[in-house]
Structure 1
Amino acid sequence: MNQKRLLKIALGQFASVHGDTKSNLSKMLEMIGEASNAGADLIVFPELAYSGYRNPSLVMQRLSETQEGPFVQAMCEAAKEKRIHIVAGYPEAGEVPGRIYNSAIFVNDAGEVIENMRKVYAWGKEKLTFAEGKRFPVVKTRFGKVGMLICYDAEYPEPARIEALKGAELIVNCSVWSIDPAEHRWHVDLQANALFNLLFIAGCNTIGENICGSSMIVGPDGKERMVASRTEEELLIHEIDLNEILEIRSRIPYFKDFKEDTFSIDALKKY
């Protein structure tokens, strides 16, 4: 318990240029370099950082790439060169032509793809463009177990709880979160998910065009540890100690008292 498990997290908050993957990739590579120079172990980028969020469906189709495409390969090369883990959003071309996903790639510091999450809960008109994923993954890394969510996934309590029960110590959330009417929910949802599950959450948002910025790190006590600007591009860097989870869970008995069997499908049918 005395030995710390330190993890330095970087959040690359920037405004993606809609449809300009070259410009967005350049900005991401620049931030990856800065984060690496600052000693960060992990950098997280916003939802659809590579393509921009507000593209017509046909444009998003054209911008979508497979995991073997140039975007993922660029992330792998940068991760290996800079010795840093990367989580970044992009439009993923699925196995069926015309079926694309709002996805986030997770690359380790050896340049290997260790997870690819497809957003499970598409928000509003996103359903007209994207198919939805089916998994809430937790990834084992050299510094601990990391869960992944994408934006609207954090508005439901179950995804974060599922990942916590899979052993997640940190959940990363790639987002494009609006000011009106949802800005207050950005803070409340991330704080609540962190507190209810007694783990760290790192939420990376974008800025501009009715987006609330405020990328943040939240501790397992539900308190915001560091928050970025609401309106400005920013590389937020903050160091956490994952062993703080054990200390807080020793004081707050949520997981000792939680009755998993009452939330099974069979149990719910009884009510």
Structure 2
Amino acid sequence: MVLVELAVSVLQWDVQFGDLQANRDISAALLEQAAKHGADIAVMPELCNSGYAFESKEEALLYSEPHGGETEQLWLELAQAHQMVIAGGINERDEDGTLYNGMLVVGPEGVLARYRKVHLFDREKLFFAPGQEMKLITVKGVKVGLMICYDGWFPEYPRVMALQGAQLILSSSCWIGQPEPDSDRELSCITMHLGHAYMNGIFLACAVRSGEERGLHYTGQSCLLTPYGRMGQAAPALGDYVMTARFDMGWAESKQLGEMSDLFEDRRPELYTNLCKQEP
């Protein structure tokens, strides 16, 4: 095993719809906490600069940010000051005015990735263009995959990242639940991501926003997950939280399950060709 340890933080808060400055201030305060925890990587929720529940394309455009915008500049300053990688969901406006449900990843050296959500959920399709490529970055020699919320509903997506060498996946989410705290849906986000970690033998850090927004209830319960179905940490459903875990990345190198079983070597891709067909 390669002895690489990464301290990974997930940040959770009740994102303030349309108040970009308030969200910048909250993200800065929570990132400072992550830095005090010694974080190498900090991941924040989906669309955490703007909020999620847009009512029109015009409103989504109003609360979008261009490349080099104020949120990007703030996160770059904090990444440089604390020598850490910061990943956060952002309402991204491209140079031609196209909007993307994006994940901006910055480090001490600058912008590392602009990932754009590939699988758009429900009304997101009215506001955003879909991303067209998978993104992996490298942090301290470790390959790290990126995905946003509904991307995780397609198990082949994190599997392909794992096959490409990802040992850790960062997931930003606005997971929509029910008002009742004991609703079965409240555990669905953790359950799904735990399955990805287990089935791919990888670490996974999922940052989920909390609170309510225009009638939508968000589950919170951000989580840090280890390979083979182990729960690292999970936040409560409500409130602002910073959680940090130290991951020994060597545990995500081997896919061996037993003397004669291996997660990847035992695959039968010749039987999975339907996955690549355009029609179900």
* TM-score by shorter chain over 0.5: yes
In structure 1, C-alpha distance between the alignment counterparts of 2:277 and 2:117, rounded to whole Å:
25
Structure with greater proportional helix content: 1
Q: Is the 8 A contact 1:64 1:93 kept in 2?
A: yes
User: Which residue of structure 2 lines up, in the alignment, with residue 153 of structure 1?
Assistant: 151
In structure 1, C-alpha distance between the alignment counterparts of 2:151 and 2:208, rounded to whole Å:
14
Return closer, same or farther for 1:143/1:183 CA change in 2, 3 Å cut-off.
farther
Q: Which runs of 5+ in 1 are unaligned?
A: none
In structure 2, C-alpha distance between the alignment counterparts of 1:47 and 1:267, rounded to whole Å:
28
Other structure's SS at 2:232 match = strand
In structure 2, C-alpha distance between the alignment counterparts of 1:18 and 1:55, rounded to whole Å:
9
23-32 or 59-68, larger mean C-alpha shift:
59-68
Q: Is the 8 A contact 1:32 1:82 kept in 2?
A: no
In the alignment, structure 1 residue 235 sits paired with structure 2 residue 238: no
Q: Is the 8 A contact 2:15 2:211 kept in 1?
A: no
User: Which residue of structure 1 lines up, in the alignment, with residue 267 of structure 2?
Assistant: 258
Give 1:250 deviation, angstroms.
Answer: 5.5
In structure 1, C-alpha distance between the alignment counterparts of 2:125 and 2:275, rounded to whole Å:
30
Give 1:76 deviation, angstroms.
Answer: 1.1
Other structure's SS at 1:34 match = helix
Q: Is the 8 A contact 2:167 2:253 kept in 1?
A: no
User: Which residue of structure 1 lines up, in the alignment, with residue 46 of structure 2?
Assistant: 47
Give 1:32 deviation, angstroms.
Answer: 1.2
Which residue of the other structure, out of 118, 121, 128, is the alignment partner of 2:119? 121
Q: Which has the higher contact order (CA 8 A, sep 6+)?
A: 2
Q: TM-score, normalised by structure 1?
A: 0.92
Give 1:66 deviation, angstroms.
Answer: 2.1
Give 1:184 deviation, angstroms.
Answer: 3.1
User: Which residue of structure 2 lines up, in the alignment, with residue 184 of structure 1?
Assistant: 187
Q: What is the aligned-residue identity percentage?
A: 28
User: Which residue of structure 1 lines up, in the alignment, with residue 136 of structure 2?
Assistant: 138
Give 1:268 deviation, angstroms.
Answer: 6.0
In structure 1, C-alpha distance between the alignment counterparts of 2:136 and 2:274, rounded to whole Å:
22
In structure 2, C-alpha distance between the alignment counterparts of 1:249 and 1:95, rounded to whole Å:
46
Other structure's SS at 1:239 match = strand
In the alignment, structure 1 residue 66 sits paired with structure 2 residue 66: yes
In the alignment, structure 1 residue 12 sits paired with structure 2 residue 19: no
Q: Is the 8 A contact 2:40 2:85 kept in 1?
A: yes
Other structure's SS at 1:12 match = strand
Return closer, same or farther for 1:266/1:185 CA change in 2, 3 Å cut-off.
closer
Aligned length: 267
User: Which residue of structure 2 lines up, in the alignment, with residue 25 of structure 1?
Assistant: 24
Q: Is the 8 A contact 2:255 2:263 kept in 1?
A: no
Which residue of the other structure, out of 216, 219, 225, is the alignment partner of 1:212? 219
In the alignment, structure 1 residue 85 sits paired with structure 2 residue 85: yes
Give 1:82 deviation, angstroms.
Answer: 1.4
Give 1:95 deviation, angstroms.
Answer: 3.6
Other structure's SS at 2:256 match = helix
Return closer, same or farther for 1:247/1:158 CA change in 2, 3 Å cut-off.
closer
Other structure's SS at 1:243 match = helix
Return closer, same or farther for 1:186/1:202 CA change in 2, 3 Å cut-off.
same
Letter in 2 for 1:172: L
Give 1:185 deviation, angstroms.
Answer: 2.2
Q: Is the 8 A contact 1:77 1:111 kept in 2?
A: no
Q: Is the 8 A contact 1:19 1:55 kept in 2?
A: no
User: Which residue of structure 2 lines up, in the alignment, with residue 35 of structure 1?
Assistant: 34
Return closer, same or farther for 1:55/1:111 CA change in 2, 3 Å cut-off.
farther
